[in-house]
Structure 1
Amino acid sequence: MSGPEEPTRPSRLGPEPPTTRIPSGPDAPTRPTERGSPSVTRRIGGVVRGALADTRPLRTPAYRRLWLAGVVTVVGSQLSVVAVPTQIYQLTGSSAYVGLTGLFGLVPLVVFGLWGGAIADVMDRRLLLLLSGGGIALSSLALWVTAASGVGGVWSVLVLFAVQTALLAINQPTRNAVIPRLLPPGQLPAANALNMTVQQVGAIAGPLLAGVLIPVVGLPTLYLVDAIALLATLWATWRLPALPPESAVNRRAGARQVIEGFRYVALHKVLLVSFLIDVVAMGFGMPRVVFPEMAHTVFGDPIAGGPALGLLFAAIPIGMVVAGLFSGWLTRVRRQGVAVTFAVCTWGVGIALFGLSGSLWLAVLFLALAGAGDMVSSAFRNSMLQTVATDEMRGRMQGVFTVVVVGGPRIADLWHGPAADAIGPSAAAAVGGFAVIVGAIVVVAVFSVFWRYQAPAAAE
């Protein structure tokens, strides 16, 4: 966020004038009034401008093309996020099978996520983006063929999903590594904010659009739309200049470098707990695997999916966007360990209440509450990582961060599915939410250094 520096409002010196008569003439002083005062107008304008996103990065053509293409492709990718679990539930009628997406997504995510950033440091990043992006588009086309033809069954869907996840795990850190080569350092925070805004808006629009499109055009079409949308990003990537490694040294991206990153985490307890508490929050509390069954059995959608399914998938991102719009207070919080603990517990409360609710609108409200807690937690944990980690370790820490953020929900998928078959989807979600609260309290009690952590005073 940026905005013009606020002018200092002049203070009145001396006693009040003895009369309320306002002098007239060209030399008369201007007396501020409640309405129409230039000073008040400038203040309001400054506050409004300071609250809006900094769009300076969009003046750079290469970044602008990538960002505008992202507006299209992120919606398409979210269509596939809804389509995969919904298709598996259609094929099997079992949330346990839907939960297998956790296993088939977690393994490639961990393997290729930890190496994705390292690979991006040793080859031309433009070429790597083209290869991985093209592979993602082809995997979406393959999913479309399986869904439209019925060939292959559930195991074909799971294998293609695993391949696509591996390609995404390479593409995402590479894309993040490209941005600093396109923009000056002072614009990187604004660029990251613009990227996050697009992702969350897509996470809202995509599921809602999926809920509307499935009854009209059928589920297979969602994959086709995703593949076509990816052409926009491939075009924007093709327009980039060559982006080879800046260093002439032939660096390696091996297991040794990855292990060094894990050792660094183990030596810095604040980083360790920031990762661990997110694993607790997502691993216990992310209930997305039960959304198709709850939409059908609790909220009345047809088994093929409908508006309730789209609302459930969109609710958490809605809460994150709303919390982001009112996030100015975050910069004034120094007790970040305390803030993360309360934010994670808020996530757990929202998920538990979602599981206990029988009304669709209450379910959406509680999921949005959970999303707001997740946004606050993510913001502070990112700040901790950037502050505590030294510069030479931040790349590997970001790799670990990516695996934790995306891998935690995969762990939740693994147990939510069987639990939903055993005790019902609503009860499984509620149990997960309560487990988050207990787990977060236990982790912080064991590692009290996290609770005491304060951001440096200079960060205020």
Structure 2
Amino acid sequence: MHVRARSIPSPDAPVSAAPGSGRRGLLVDLSPLRESPAFARLWIGGAITGIGGQMTIVAVGLQVYDLTASTFAVSLVGVIALIPMICFGLYGGMLADAFDRRTVALTAAVVTWVSTAIIAVLAWSGSELVWPLYLLTTINAVSTTIVGTTRQAILPRLLPARLLPSAAALSGIAAGVMVTVGPALAGVLVAGVGFRWTYTIDVVLFVAAFLGIASLPKILPEGGVSRLPGLASLVDGWTFLRTAPNVRMTFIVDIVAMTFGNPRVLYPAVGTLLLGGGAITVGVLTAAGAVGTLLSSLDSGRLGRIDRQGRAIERAIIVYGLAIACFGAVLAWVTFSGTATHDAADANLPAIVIAAIALAVAGAADNISSIFRMTILQAAVPDAVRGRLQGVFTVVVTGGPRVGDLYIGLAASAFALWVPALAGGLLVVVLVWTLVRVQGAFRRYDARTPTP
């Protein structure tokens, strides 16, 4: 079955411009919002909806703990959803390459909205059952994954290639706002008005997603559809990936970075056993990465001028690895200097500040790498297979940190808290430096002539 692609109607078509035209400032580049009203609506709707989604994620964890008094029960909220998220990330990519992407995103958004609404109804009914929360949050995570996969496949149809780095930076800003404002609001609302109103507010905020998606034109894959969703379609996507060394390398270096350089699971033990400060230190270390992400996104004007994006990814990930190694070195210094403290009220402030700065640098470097990796994926991959490759990207960014959690946990248990971050960060530097020299074409990748 072949489906003919349709171009985006002219009212929302991006304004064309020659590469390099239109001087952009050094700070955040708002050109994508100005030049494509469709992108602007999608971005604003996604940001508002993301805040509500983060509220619900935090509120569900709090409610599960309130019902069970079990940290393990809370952890199952994410664990149960992991495999379905990976599977439907791939399936969502196939859907995006087979049907109108606007319809796929809108249908998945409806499922997300309905699952959130049912959670709210259960809260208003006074239900004390935990299993419906597991089921509904899994459905919610799956449909949100499909929305995200399809949305990323839509963006290159709304914007010229020269604005894709700026659009990715704007997405980083939106993500930074989501993960800072959403959880904070959830804590305030749950404490102030309870679970019922917290979920209900998310249901209302989600209307913004419909406004962003429903206003899009029809977006069918360019070049027609050779296969409907299924195993053969998935094989076609993987076959293309085998012939796309630059795109493949973006996945590989990200897996390396997230496997060996993602020390988030150390934070509770670090706050309790090394740096002191307890939960406050954990919050500071967690927020540091988000702050780095947000600050680096504000420099999208400069990032949009970089053409050697493969080399930029290499350098960003090397800086990331060095920053994580610096974080590990702080932990090692505290350990061997005898300044470790278990006292929540007597924190080692100098060490916490240095560790937070290192993690902020890591967050900024990771975001810059993400901006260019996403740009290469969107610009170099043909539209007909972009959804499936975006699905693989979703699997990488979802699964990589979980594998990293396993490495960090095992290494910390076998050796010491400082070992996995210090050794892992240095390993990231060595592996990425080696990989990009084995495949020299990746370092020569030029955004002016994107090749997969």
Q: TM-score, normalised by structure 2?
A: 0.72
Q: Does 1:374 align with 2:366?
A: yes
The aligned counterpart of 1:315 is 288
The aligned counterpart of 2:328 is 352
Deviation of residue 75 (structure 1)? Answer: 1.5
Output the CA distance in 2 between the equivalents of 1:250 and 1:214. 49
Alpha carbons of 1:146 and 1:205: their partners in 2 closer, same or farther (altered >3 Å)? same
Give the match's secondary structure for 1:227.
helix
Q: 1:368-397 CA deviation, whole Å, 9 max, x = no partner?
A: 222012113223434554677566654433
Deviation of residue 161 (structure 1)? Answer: 2.5
Q: 1:395-416 CA deviation, whole Å, 9 max, x = no partner?
A: 4333212221232223345677
Q: Does 1:118 align with 2:94?
A: yes
The aligned counterpart of 1:438 is 427
Amino acid at match of 2:324: G
Output the CA distance in 1 between the equivalents of 2:326 and 2:386. 32
Q: What is the aligned counterpart of 2:390 among 385, 398, 402?
A: 398
The aligned counterpart of 1:19 is none
Q: Work out whether residues 344 and 373 of structure 1, in 8 Å CA contact, stay in contact via their aligned partners in 2.
A: yes
Output the CA distance in 2 between the equivalents of 1:206 and 1:369. 23
Output the CA distance in 1 between the equivalents of 2:435 and 2:43. 42
Alpha carbons of 1:232 and 1:117: their partners in 2 closer, same or farther (altered >3 Å)? same
Greater C-alpha Rg: 1
Any unmatched runs of 5+ in structure 2? 1-15, 335-347
Amino acid at match of 1:381: R
Q: Does 1:262 align with 2:243?
A: no
Q: Does 1:160 align with 2:136?
A: yes
The aligned counterpart of 2:174 is 198
Alpha carbons of 1:447 and 1:94: their partners in 2 closer, same or farther (altered >3 Å)? farther
Q: Does 1:226 align with 2:199?
A: no
Q: Work out whether residues 98 and 289 of structure 1, in 8 Å CA contact, stay in contact via their aligned partners in 2.
A: no
Q: 1:88-113 CA deviation, whole Å, 9 max, x = no partner?
A: 55556665555445532321222111
Q: 1:244-265 CA deviation, whole Å, 9 max, x = no partner?
A: 5666757412222322333444
Alpha carbons of 1:206 and 1:352: their partners in 2 closer, same or farther (altered >3 Å)? farther
Alpha carbons of 1:93 and 1:84: their partners in 2 closer, same or farther (altered >3 Å)? same
Output the CA distance in 1 between the equivalents of 2:260 and 2:145. 22
Q: Work out whether residues 32 and 159 of structure 2, in 8 Å CA contact, stay in contact via their aligned partners in 1.
A: no
Any unmatched runs of 5+ in structure 1? 7-45, 302-306
Q: TM-score, normalised by structure 1?
A: 0.71
Output the CA distance in 1 between the equivalents of 2:383 and 2:106. 28
Q: Work out whether residues 75 and 203 of structure 1, in 8 Å CA contact, stay in contact via their aligned partners in 2.
A: yes
Output the CA distance in 1 between the equivalents of 2:283 and 2:180. 9
Alpha carbons of 1:168 and 1:353: their partners in 2 closer, same or farther (altered >3 Å)? farther
The aligned counterpart of 1:278 is 254
Root-mean-square deviation (Å): 4.4
Which range is displaced more, 140-149 or 227-236? 140-149
Alpha carbons of 1:292 and 1:210: their partners in 2 closer, same or farther (altered >3 Å)? farther
The aligned counterpart of 1:12 is none
Amino acid at match of 2:88: F
Q: Does 1:177 align with 2:164?
A: no
Deviation of residue 230 (structure 1)? Answer: 0.6
Aligned pairs (5 A) from 1:31-50: 49=25
Amino acid at match of 2:237: G
Alpha carbons of 1:268 and 1:113: their partners in 2 closer, same or farther (altered >3 Å)? same
Aligned residues: 411
Alpha carbons of 1:49 and 1:160: their partners in 2 closer, same or farther (altered >3 Å)? same
Amino acid at match of 1:200: G
Q: Work out whether residues 204 and 313 of structure 1, in 8 Å CA contact, stay in contact via their aligned partners in 2.
A: no
Alpha carbons of 1:294 and 1:224: their partners in 2 closer, same or farther (altered >3 Å)? farther
Alpha carbons of 1:121 and 1:384: their partners in 2 closer, same or farther (altered >3 Å)? closer
Aligned pairs (5 A) from 1:214-253: 214-218=190-194, 221-243=197-219, 251-253=227-229
Alpha carbons of 1:258 and 1:348: their partners in 2 closer, same or farther (altered >3 Å)? farther
Q: 1:284-306 CA deviation, whole Å, 9 max, x = no partner?
A: 444556767877995455xxxxx
Q: What percentage of residue pairs aligned between the two structures are identical? A: 32
Which range is displaced more, 392-401 or 117-126? 392-401
The aligned counterpart of 2:111 is 135
Q: 1:264-313 CA deviation, whole Å, 9 max, x = no partner?
A: 44455554443233223223444556767877995455xxxxx7776554
Q: Work out whether residues 101 and 410 of structure 1, in 8 Å CA contact, stay in contact via their aligned partners in 2.
A: no
Deviation of residue 322 (structure 1)? Answer: 1.4
Deviation of residue 450 (structure 1)? Answer: 4.3
Q: Work out whether residues 258 and 401 of structure 2, in 8 Å CA contact, stay in contact via their aligned partners in 1.
A: yes
Q: 1:355-375 CA deviation, whole Å, 9 max, x = no partner?
A: 778556555434322201211
Amino acid at match of 1:431: P
Alpha carbons of 1:229 and 1:191: their partners in 2 closer, same or farther (altered >3 Å)? same
Output the CA distance in 1 between the equivalents of 2:119 and 2:111. 12
Give the match's secondary structure for 1:252.
coil
